[in-house]
Amino acid sequence: MLELVNSRGVTTGVAEKLAAHQSPGRLHRAFSVFLFDDRGRMLLQRRALSKYHFPGVWSNACCGHPFPGEAPFQAATRRVGEELGVAPALLMEAGTVTYRHLDPQSGLVEHEYNHLFVGLVRAQPHPDPSEVAEFALVAPDELRKRREVDSFSGWFQDVLSGALPAVRQLVTDADW
């Protein structure tokens, strides 16, 4: 179940996950996490090919949905562990963004009020293969090159733009 929200992020109800993503999409609470190593490289994940929407595309370190009533920070920490098999050494709030993206392959819609988090990871990830096909640590120049040739999630630019002010405070020695 997902927490439905209004445009200000106030809870308005709950819905089953798949139903909330069916067109036209219902606005619901979500989170996105950006993790960086001590060298200032961003952790990217390529979503597993078995995912029911946006399979096989690159995206930020972790994203998901809090359970109804679960704090977004707690959900983000929980899902980083579940998806990547690692605990963030540091995790901090980085604002919110709202977006709506259609997955052309599945027809499902991501209409999300998304809580953003940025943090540090110091341990080697051990991703769950049902969630993550592969991961990479990339510097800003490598991310720009990858975005020219690889497929990224529809929401990646929205969440990256929203998180950049906090990223620049966290990672001061890289050109983010």
Is 16 catalytic? The answer is no
Active-site option among 62, 63, 83, 110: 63
Dihedral (C-alpha) 96, 59, 91, 140: value to the nearest 10 degrees? -100
How would DSSP label each residue in 5-19? E-TTS-EEEEE-HHH
Those residues whose C-beta lies under 8 Å from the C-beta of residue 47, and which sit 6 or more positions away, are: 54, 55, 56, 57, 58, 59, 131, 132, 133, 153
Containing 35, the helix (H) or strand (E) segment is strand 28-36
Active-site option among 3, 83, 110, 112: 112
Which residue type is seen at 22?
Q
Is 70 catalytic? The answer is no
Active site residues: 63, 112
